[in-house]
Amino acid sequence: MKTLYINANLYDPAHDIDTAGNLLIEDGVILGINQFAEDAEIVDLKGKWLCPSITDMHVHCFKEMSDLGLDMDEIGVDMHVGTLVDAGSSGCRDIETLLQQIEEAATRIKVFINYSSVGLTHGNQELADWSLIDENALREVVQRYPGIIKGIKLRASASVVGKLGIEVIRAGKAFAKELGLPVMVHIGNEPPQLEEVLNCLEKGDIVTHIFHGKPKGIFDEEGRLKPLVEEKYREGVLFDVGHGAASFSFDVCEKAIREGIKPSLISSDLHKRNYLSKLHSLSEVVSKLYACGLSERQLIDAISIRPAALLGLQNGLQIAHQADLSVIDFQACEPMILKDSQGHERLCRKQVVFEALIR
**Which residues here bind Zn ion, judged by CB under 5 A?**
269
Residue nearer to Zn ion on the CB measure, 238 or 357 = 238
CB 124 within 8 A of CB 189: no
Question: In Å, what is the CA distance from 202 to each residue of 190, 198, 260, 261?
Answer: 20, 8, 19, 17
What residue number has its CB nearest to Zn ion? 269
CB of 76 to Zn ion, least distance (A): 16
Nearest alpha-carbon partner for 317 in 326, 307, 306, 328: 326
By beta-carbon proximity to Zn ion, the closer residue of 94 and 324 is 94
State the Cα angle at 243 between 240 and 247, rounded to 5°. Answer: 100
Q: How far is the CB of 120 from Zn ion (least distance, A)?
A: 8
Instruction: Select 87 or 218, whichever has its Cβ closest to Zn ion.
Output: 87
- Beta carbon nearer to Zn ion, 94 or 269: 269
Taking the least distance from each CB to Zn ion, the nearer of 23 and 72 is 72
Listed residue (45, 35, 53) closest to 7, CA to CA:
45
Q: Where are the alpha helices (DSSP H) in the chain?
A: 72-75, 95-104, 135-144, 158-161, 165-179, 194-200, 227-235, 250-258, 282-291, 296-300, 306-311
> Are β-strands 17-26 and 2-12 bridged in parallel, bridged antiparallel, or unpaired?
antiparallel
CB of 181 to Zn ion, least distance (A): 18
Of residues 203 and 273, the one with the C-beta less far from Zn ion: 273
48 vs 153 by CB, closer to Zn ion:
153
Distance in Å, CB of 86 to Zn ion, minimum: 9
Name the minimum Å distance from CB 296 to Zn ion.
27
- Cα→Cα distances 50→101, 109, 140, 299, 357, Å: 29, 22, 39, 13, 10
Q: What share of the chain is helix, strand, coil (3-state, %, to 5)?
A: 30, 30, 40
How far apart (Å, rounded) are the C-alpha atoms in residues 133 and 78? 35
Cβ nearer to Zn ion, comparing 248 with 330: 248
Nearest to 200 by CA among 171, 239, 162: 171
Query: Minimum distance between the CB of residue 186 and Zn ion, rounded to whole angstroms?
Result: 6
CB nearer to Zn ion: pick between 61 and 77 = 61
Exposed/middle/buried for 180, CB within 10 Å: 0-12, 13-18, 19+?
Answer: exposed
Is the separation of the CB atoms in 158 and 193 below 8 Å?
no
Residue type for 265, please? Answer: L
Shortest separation between residue 83's beta carbon and Zn ion, angstroms: 16
* Residue type, position 224, single letter: R
DSSP string of 72-88, one letter each residue: HHHHTGGGT--EEEEES
- Minimum CB distance to Zn ion, residue 269 (Å): 4
- Residue 87 Cβ, how far from Zn ion at the closest point, in Å? 5
